[in-house]
Amino acid sequence: MKITRISAYQLDLPRQAAFTLSGGRTVAAFDTTVVRVDTDAGLTGLGEVCPFGSAYLPAYAKGARTGIAELAPQLIGDDPRQVEALYRRMDGLLKGHPYVKSALDIAMWDILGQTAGLPLYVLLGGRHGQSIPLYQPISHDVPDRMAAQVKAAQEAGYARFQPKVGANPDDDIARLRAVLTVTRPGDVVVADANGGWFTHQARRFVGAMAGAPIYVEQPCAGYDECLSIRAASALPFVLDESIDSAAMVLRLQRDHAADLINLKLAKVGGLTPARQIRDLCVSLGIAMTIEDSGGGDVIAAAITHLAQATPVANRYALCNAYFLVKRHFADGVPEIRDGAVTATDAPGLGLRLREQELGKPFFSTH
């Protein structure tokens, strides 16, 4: 089997509601890039990459599209089923820029699953458990409105919440205390600063919240700063933005820097490296949230399949943001039921493309 054509499309995917991180970074729609890989066997694979704006991680939407246009012509004639070998080839063609490779890599896995006649979760490790819990991000806002967001999510079946903090620590303490007034026994609350605090601010927050039933996620931008806050607190910790490779997971394990990680597909470069990091975390006994920075139908399917193939004990949750966009370009996306999803049993990603939604490609190899 050979790749005969690679096309890429830009789509705006409005969210059901605008979302704000710490620092006032608000996103009302995802600027996403969808990749279509065609083969001489008549199979088509879908991929997607969607940075969360241009100032969250070292990735941006136009950069993804430029990089895909650079890589794609050099992959024509390659066998898409050779996913790991093809990934090494991409690394040889473009140094760094893992997010650029993510959409292409996902599309190759989609073709591999279709060729085998198996859903991707089988190829990624087999089915573990049934439904996968979703977590509800809670947009940065005043305390009462953040508590109201939690209550609305509880009514929709959610029990895991990620309130955004990372601003003035006194205000953030008030935000978390308001959230905790409406949580129930068994609910999980992760205070996510997205690296927004200086160390002195993070120390004030964890000191004031000592003993509270919460996790603290990525309090500071740098790994070493987060490690210093970890040493000053008995609260369980999550690292996200700092975890971009298997090497960082090994460093985290050595330093006892966190209890959980967030594993984002685009940040590490797609399903191939994410699977390797997932397996390392399973071996080391580290729990994971499997997610991505943003996106729509392809991202939703890809993270669901990888999470479905992850042992339940190592699987914390998925993010719901990719399932709650207003615009869809494929059918077969896993459906939310009572705050959880389950990977479909259709081959590959299990998606059926809505051709009319894509429009004209901004790039095609011919």
pLDDT tens, residue order, the chain (366 aa)? 999 999 999 999 998 887 887 777 778 889 999 999 999 999 999 999 999 878 788 889 999 999 999 999 999 999 999 999 999 999 999 999 999 999 999 999 999 999 999 999 999 999 999 999 999 999 999 999 999 999 999 999 999 999 999 999 999 999 999 999 999 999 999 999 999 999 999 999 999 999 999 999 999 999 999 999 999 999 999 999 999 999 999 999 999 999 999 999 999 999 999 999 999 999 999 999 999 999 999 999 999 999 999 999 999 999 988 888 999 999 999 999 999 999 999 999 999 999 999 999 999 998
Q: Which residues contact 85 (CB under 8 A, 6 or more apart)?
A: none
User: Which of 101, 151, 264, 267 does the annotation list as catalytic?
Assistant: 264
Residue 264 annotated to the active site: yes
Q: Provide the pLDDT for residue 346.
A: 98
Residue 326 annotated to the active site: no
What's the CA angle centered on 244, arms 138 and 333, to 5 degrees?
55
Q: Provide the pLDDT for residue 53.
A: 76
Question: Which CATH number is 122-351 given?
Answer: 3.20.20.120
- CATH 3.30.390.10 domain residues, the chain: 3-118+353-364
Give the predicted TM-score (pTM) of the model. Answer: 0.96
Superfamily of domain 3-118+353-364: Enolase-like, N-terminal domain (3.30.390.10)
Q: Provide the pLDDT for residue 22.
A: 74
Q: Provide the pLDDT for residue 266.
A: 97
Label each residue of the chain as H, E or C.
Answer: CCEEEEEEEEEEEEEEEEEECHHHCEEEEEEEEEEEEEECCCCEEEEEECCCCCCCCCCCHHHHHHHHHHHHHHHCCCCCCCHHHHHHHHHHHCCCCHHHHHHHHHHHHHHHHHHHCCEHHHHCCCCCCCCEEEEEEECCCCHHHHHHHHHHHHHCCCCEEEEECCCCHHHHHHHHHHHHCCCCCCCEEEEECCCECCHHHHHHHHHHCCCCCCEEECCECCHHHHHHHHHCCCCCEEECCCCCCHHHHHHHHHHCCCCEEEEEHHHHCCHHHHHHHHHHHHHHCCEEEEECCCCCHHHHHHHHHHHHCCCHHHEEEEECHHHCECCCCEECCCCCECCEECCCCCCECCCEECHHHHCCCCEECC
Q: How many CB atoms lie within 10 A of CB 66?
A: 14
Q: Provide the pLDDT for residue 17.
A: 81
Amino acid at 248: M
- CATH 3.20.20.120 domain residues, the chain: 122-351
User: Which of 95, 164, 267, 360 does the annotation list as catalytic?
Assistant: 164
pLDDT tens digits along 20-61: 877 777 788 899 999 999 999 999 999 999 998 787 888 899
